[in-house]
Amino acid sequence: MLNLSSLFFTTVDDESCMHNQLDLTPDQRTWIASARTDVRNCLRTGVPSFLRASGYTEAAPQPRFFTQGSWAYKTLNSPAQHPQQADIDDGCYLPLSFVSQTKRPSIAATVFFAAAEKALKPLIDERGWTLVTDKPTCIRIVIASYAHIDIPLYAIPDEEFETLSKASMERYGFDSLTDAVNKAERDAWTALPADRVLLAHRECNWMSSDPRPVKEWFVGEVEAKGEQFRRVVRYLKAFRDWRWPSGGPASILLMAASAPLFEKRERRDDLALLDVVAALPARLRAGVNNPVDESESFTERLGKSGVEEAARSFEELEKVLRGATDAGSPSQACIWMQGEFGPRFPNEPDRVKVASVAATIAAAPATPGPSELVGRTKAG
């Protein structure tokens, strides 16, 4: 059996691996972080100014922010091909009592979007960026050919807004929105939950949406399973991005589907990925729900045909990955892997090792055997 693991991940400084190739460059990360800071500064000053001009009599607070999504998860991959872009989510928050000064929530949501977009316009014009306003749950700013910043707008309970700090926000960082949607329009603020984080929506006005439980779930999964699990999620996303130039299964779906399938393989990222990919089609076809809200289906968002397409694609990936690890030729194995992941997978067959049966068994997860004190039983 071939050991391809070092081409997936290595800690040797002068050796390439796909994991490192998935990262944005340091210059790109610096540019994104600088752009995010400029966007925040515009919103801090521009949103209160616009709200005061719109007739809000109480002192308009400066919005508060924190980065959520894959940047915070440390699962962000660089784009694999056009037209993909790295997606940076930066939530913008105002206290619930302030945005509820209007008599109708629909007005408040509209005002919030208008205030943010007006505040950002001078910066966007100056930098030559592109403002996208057709996303129902956020404002999008395309800051480079390889990246955009999405700004979801939230109303948060006053107590949480007041105690919000950079440390706590980074600790709680968000992922993609949980979309716990109530599609009926709310005509009165009394109908809205006062203890929830609310997301402004261009069409549904406001929806209850607090993605922190999902974030905490993912952090807990990484803590329990180790960093290899986070890497496997990134490999799955890398395959998706090479297989689908646009669309495909969402990152949150891949995370939720793979978590119960993952088992640690000591120094064998190739086998850890193979374990997940082998079981993933059946799990997708069976349906995958939000791990912190079983009433919400992630596979329903993808649709029946989308789920079947994804399942078949991962079945093909399993065949190729299994064939590569069983291949007699390291060169052929690298060619097959580049067919599934693109040129970011290194074509360096000289670094592929031949693994003995004993080494492969040693890398396998431990399987508990029957207790010596309790005899086996047979179900009737």
* In-domain check, residue 372: no
Give pLDDT, residue 101.
Answer: 67
Percent of the chain with pLDDT over 70: 82
Q: Are residues 186 and 320 in the same domain?
A: no
Q: Are residues 205 and 220 in the same domain?
A: no
* In-domain check, residue 205: yes
User: Left (φ > 0), alpha (ψ -120 to 50) or beta: where does 251 sit?
Assistant: alpha
What is the span of the domain harbouring residue 302? Answer: 2-17+216-363
**Nearest Cα to 112, choosing from 185, 161, 56?**
56
* In-domain check, residue 370: no
Q: Are residues 238 and 356 in the same domain?
A: yes
* In-domain check, residue 376: no
Sign of the alpha-carbon dihedral angle for 340, 341, 343, 346: negative
* In-domain check, residue 375: no
* In-domain check, residue 329: yes
* In-domain check, residue 298: yes
pLDDT at 360 over 80: no
Q: Are residues 136 and 179 in the same domain?
A: yes
**Nearest Cα to 340, choosing from 273, 284, 260?**
273
pLDDT in tens, 267-280: 999 999 999 999 99
Q: Are residues 175 and 243 in the same domain?
A: no
Q: Are residues 40 and 177 in the same domain?
A: yes
Looking at the structure of the chain, the number of domains it has is: 2
Residue 13 exposed, middle or buried by CB count within 10 Å (0-12, 13-18, 19+): exposed
pLDDT in tens, 180-223: 222 222 333 344 555 578 899 999 888 888 767 788 899 999 99
Give pLDDT, residue 157.
Answer: 81
Label residue 104 by pLDDT band (50, 70, 90).
Answer: low
Q: Are residues 303 and 244 in the same domain?
A: yes
Q: Are residues 120 and 255 in the same domain?
A: no
pLDDT at 107 over 70: no
Q: Are residues 220 and 206 in the same domain?
A: no
Which CATH number fits the domain that encloses residue 195? 3.30.460
Predicted TM-score of the model (pTM): 0.84
Of the three residues 210, 236, 254, the one that is the final residue of a domain is: 210
Give the residue, 148 or 105, on which the prediction is more confident: 148
pLDDT in tens, 46-58: 999 988 887 776 6
Of the three residues 191, 210, 229, the one that is the final residue of a domain is: 210
Label residue 5 by pLDDT band (50, 70, 90).
Answer: very high
pLDDT at 169 over 60: no
* In-domain check, residue 379: no
Label residue 364 by pLDDT band (50, 70, 90).
Answer: low
pLDDT in tens, 308-356: 999 999 999 999 999 999 999 999 999 999 999 999 999 999 999 998 6
| 229, amino acid identity | F
Q: Are residues 45 and 164 in the same domain?
A: yes
Q: Are residues 37 and 170 in the same domain?
A: yes
Q: Are residues 197 and 324 in the same domain?
A: no
